[in-house]
Copies of this chain bind each other. A is one copy, B any other.
Amino acid sequence: MGEFDLIARYFQRPQRPYTGAVRLGVGDDCALLQPAPGTQLAISSDMLVEGRHFFADVDPATLGHKALTVNLSDLAACGARPLAFTLALSLPQADEAWLAAFARGLFALADAHDCQLIGGDTTRGPLNICITIFGEVPVTESGSRALLRSGARPGDELWVSGTLGDARLALEALQGRRQLPPAALQAARARLEQPTPRVALGLALRGVASAALDVSDGLLGDLGHILRASACGARIDTARAAPLLATQGVALGDNERLSLVLAGGDDYELLFTAPASHAEAVVAAGLASSTPVTRIGRIEAEPGLRLVDAAGRPVTGRYASFDHFA
């Protein structure tokens, strides 16, 4: 089976006409994208590598889902509406069963978000998936309405969506570093392999949140990006954060639980800030998007990050975020 047949069979879908901003998709040297007047494109690119981001024996359908989730999550963090994506794929062999399942998982999520595949590349090599995604953000006279990392201000409250640490829990179990009861492993593994991109919440937070990003490397490490970009510090109430681990039926010490929540990684939840006066609007955005939101701390003028307990006393511990080259 030739490269071009392969691309055509699994990734060209002529039955679906390109719509909206997409003027030309798969099949020419370039795709053509024309954002609506009064909008700009939000663009993100992520690369997933076997053995680092997923296991060799992962179900290809969940891998297709996750590969797009990682990118949709970046759009969500900017408050961008998904439009389209390109897919570059390096494969050790042209395995039709694998490709069919990967494409099924990928397109199920893409279709749910009305996000069209408009181009890409296929080559032979170690398994590698690189998706570049495009979303639309309104631009008004006062500028872009994209949610950025740089908008946090002292006094803003710190929020996070959904649950944290479950993906890391599953990873440690799959690596044989931890034993989990079957039900707990199943629940945690779903969070690792099929995370939900928080696109609807991101859209609902436009004009509400002051800064946002998605938690991919661990809450503390990612919060550090907001603090640097916004030139401020923060305080996290660990009593509010610790319960965010959703997996039940696992015996964990307090420090261990907190470490999973604060430094787990692969969560694909939104971490965002909002003025205290927007607290009700944040809760409304969570309800409107059917996404749980939890207030876990606040932004402060003093640089650095402080972990405190319910009574405001300092909590000590080492919670390093995941770093690919550490």
**Interface residues, chain A, CB within 8 Å of chain B?**
1-4, 6, 23-24, 27-35, 37, 40-53, 74-75, 77-78, 80, 86-90, 94, 118-126, 128, 130, 132, 134-135, 137, 139, 144, 146, 148-150, 212-214, 229, 323-326
Contacts and interface: CB of A to CB of B under 8 A. Distances in A.
Nearest to A45: B86
Contacts of A50: 125
B88 A30 contact: no
Interface of A is mostly: strand
Nearest to A130: B130
A45 B132 contact: yes
A305 to B, nearest CB: 16
Nearest to A118: B43
Contacts of A3: 323-326
11 contacts: A1-B325, A29-B44, A30-B74, A30-B146, A43-B86, A43-B134, A45-B88, A49-B90, A51-B125, A88-B132, A128-B128
A3 to B, nearest CB: 4
A205 to B, nearest CB: 13
B125 A27 contact: no
A144 B23 CA distance: 9
Nearest to A128: B128
A326 B124 CA distance: 11
B32 A35 contact: no
Contacts of A150: 28
Given A3-B325, A29-B213, A149-B29, A121 B78 contact: no
B23 A325 contact: no
B46 A30 contact: no
A229 B42 contact: no
B32 A40 contact: yes
Nearest to A41: B33
Contacts of A123: 47-49, 52-53, 324
Contacts of A325: 1-3, 6, 94, 124
